[in-house]
C-alpha cells in the first residue's frame, strides 16, 4: 500500500532535492529558523509560497506557518498575520475539497489585494467570493470586488463549513490545548473563519499571547 494513503504530502518526501515542492519546504523551514532567531520573514515566506504555483497551500506548508505563529515574535506582526490567515484559510477550504477548484489557487489567496482585505477584516465568505470572481473573470482580485459586496447565503456558509471541517479538526488540536492564548495571526484567522467555522469551540475566551 502506498504511504500516500496515510500522508497526502508523502510525494514531497520522496522527491529529489531539486524538485519544486521539496525546495519550497526546505526554504520555508529555513525561514522558520530565521524567525525563531528574531528575523522578520513574512515577505520572504509569501514569495516562497507563491513559488508553489496554483495548488492550494498544503498541510506541511500550513504546519510550518503554524509553528512560526506559535513560537516566534513574527507571529505578532501585521505582515505575517495577514499572510497566515489567508494561507491557512486557503488550506482549510482545500482540505475538504475533492478537486482543486480554480478559486482555491494559492496565487489568488496570497495576492496583495486579498492580504489587504484580510487585514481589513473581511471574512472567509467574502474572500472566497472575491477568489471565485477573479478565477471566473481571469482577473486580479483587486479588480473583482463585485461578489464580495454581497452577503453570504446560509447555503454558502454551510458549504464552507463542510469544506473546512477536516482541516478544522487538525487546527483545533493545535489551538485548544493553549487555552485560548492566541497570537495576533491566529486571532485574525479565527475571526476570518468565524462565520462558518468556529476554530475555538471549547476553548476559553481567546486572549493575546
- Considering the domain boundaries, does residue 51 fall inside one? yes
Residue 1 lies in a domain: no
Number of other CB atoms surrounding residue 125 within 10 Å: 22
pLDDT top residue among 176 and 146: 176
Give the separation between CA 146 and CA 52, rounded to whole angstroms: 28
Average pLDDT of the chain, as a whole number: 79
Question: Quick check: is 128 in a domain?
Answer: yes
What is d(CA 204, CA 199) in angstroms, rounded to the nearest whole number? Answer: 12
pLDDT at 51: 93
pTM of the model: 0.81
Q: Is residue 4 part of a domain?
A: no
Number of structural domains (the chain) is 1
Query: Which tens digits make up the pLDDT trace of 153-204?
Result: 777 778 888 888 888 888 888 887 766 678 889 889 988 988 888 887 754 4
What residues make up the domain containing 186?
A: 12-208
Give the pLDDT score at 179. Answer: 61
Please check whether residue 135 lies inside any domain of the structure.
Answer: yes
Distances from the Cα of 194 to the Cα of 80, 121, 187, angstroms: 20, 11, 10
More confident residue, 1 or 85: 85
3-class SS shares of the chain: helix, strand, coil, % to 5: 65, 0, 30
Amino acid at each position: 500500500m502506498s504511504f500516500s494513503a496515510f500522508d497526502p504530502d508523502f510525494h514531497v518526501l520522496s522527491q529529489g532535492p531539486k524538485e519544486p515542492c521539496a525546495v519550497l519546504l526546505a526554504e520555508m523551514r529555513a525561514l522558520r529558523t530565521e524567525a525563531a532567531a528574531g528575523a522578520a520573514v513574512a515577505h520572504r515566506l509569501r514569495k516562497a509560497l507563491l513559488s508553489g504555483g496554483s495548488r492550494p497551500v498544503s498541510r506541511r506548508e500550513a504546519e510550518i506557518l503554524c509553528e512560526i505563529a506559535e513560537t516566534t515574535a513574527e507571529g505578532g506582526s501585521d505582515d505575517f498575520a495577514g499572510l497566515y490567515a489567508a494561507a491557512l484559510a486557503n488550506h482549510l477550504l482545500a482540505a475538504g475539497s475533492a478537486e482543486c477548484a480554480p478559486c482555491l489557487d494559492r496565487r489568488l489567496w496570497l495576492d496583495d489585494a486579498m492580504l489587504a482585505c484580510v487585514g481589513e477584516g473581511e471574512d472567509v465568505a467574502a474572500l472566497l467570493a472575491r477568489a471565485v470572481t477573479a478565477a471566473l473573470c481571469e482577473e486580479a482580485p483587486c479588480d473583482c470586488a463585485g461578489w464580495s459586496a454581497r452577503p453570504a447565503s446560509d447555503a454558502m456558509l454551510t458549504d464552507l463549513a463542510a469544506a473546512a471541517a477536516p482541516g478544522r479538526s487538525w487546527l483545533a488540536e493545535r489551538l485548544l490545548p493553549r487555552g485560548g492564548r492566541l497570537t495576533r495571526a491566529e486571532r485574525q484567522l479565527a475571526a476570518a473563519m468565524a462565520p462558518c467555522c468556529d476554530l475555538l469551540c471549547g476553548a476559553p475566551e481567546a486572549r493575546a499571547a
